[in-house]
Amino acid sequence: MPKLPPLIWIIIAGIVLIAGVYGFDIVIKQKPSEEVKEPVTSPIPLPHYNEDLVPVSVNIFDKRTLKLIPRVPYTITALEGSPINRVTDDNGYFTISILKRVNLKIAFSHECYEEITENVDLRVDPKTTKEIYLQPKGSNSDNCKTKTTPTEGEIFNPKVNITTGKDVFGVGEPITFEYSYSGVPDEYKTFNILVESSKPDTHVGSGKYVSKTGSGKFNGQPPGAYEIRGYFTFQPGKYRIIGRHPIAVK
């Protein structure tokens, strides 16, 4: 190391000291804030740990008439965050996005219906389409008369009776059946499908609307367990299964 006058060493020491202080400050400011947690303002947990949010759709029905209830207030609560108050749309519908590992409680309150609280936990029930049925209070107030006192034709118990000449069909053999719907209002359309028994009820494929009573035929199928299922629709894109008939192809 070359010999330098004491004054030069003092200047160098000062430069190193200044650079060290500011450099340390820059490192601290640029260091990722790993310990700073995002504030949770919603009961629906944020997607930490690279987990994906799962959309869940909910429909609210009148338990007596099976009709959708518009503008139902509901409150979502979870272990984290404060409760969130919302109202369904005019079709009694709303969606939420949650993590699979989270249990949510959703409380529904409406002046004309009994209050209920439902748990939404995809680990217990993985279905992402939920149907909630509210029990009318039977109030005589003007606000509830039209909602809780349906006409005779509106109180119905939808059913479908599906029959086949036999329960076992040959491979490739056409599958013929007869069906009869009852308790379904005229304005609701009905349709039948043939699917593998393992398919969920939401797997409706390309079913075609049919009359309330009649007969049908499906193309032959490979070996397996199948079901003929009957549905009715209560609005475009919304449907409900009300009956099934199992068959086998061998």
Domain ranges of the chain: 48-152, 159-249
* CB neighbour list of residue 60: distance below 8 Å, 6 or more residues apart: 68, 69, 72, 88, 92, 93, 108, 132, 134
Task: Give residue 134's pLDDT.
Answer: 92
Q: What is the pTM of this model?
A: 0.44
Residue 40 in tokens: 């949770």
Q: Mean pLDDT in runs of 10 for the chain (250 residues)? A: 63 55 35 34 42 86 85 84 83 87 89 91 89 79 47 57 94 94 81 92 80 92 94 76 93
Q: What is the DSSP string of 50-93?
A: GPPPEEEEEEEEETTT--B-SS-EEEEE-SSS--EEEE--TTSE
Give the amino acid at 230.
G
Task: Give residue 22's pLDDT.
Answer: 41
Residue 89: Cβ within 10 Å count = 12
Residue 118 in tokens: 């439902």
Task: Give residue 33's pLDDT.
Answer: 35
174 CB burial (10 A radius; 0-12, 13-18, 19+): exposed
Q: Which CATH architecture has domain 159-249?
A: Sandwich (2.60)
CA 61 to CA 38: how far, in whole Å? 37
CA 158 to CA 66: how far, in whole Å? 9
CB 86 within 8 A of CB 76: yes
124 Cα distance to chain centroid: 13
Does the fold of domain 159-249 match that of domain 48-152? yes
- Homologous superfamily (CATH) of 48-152 is Immunoglobulins (2.60.40.10)
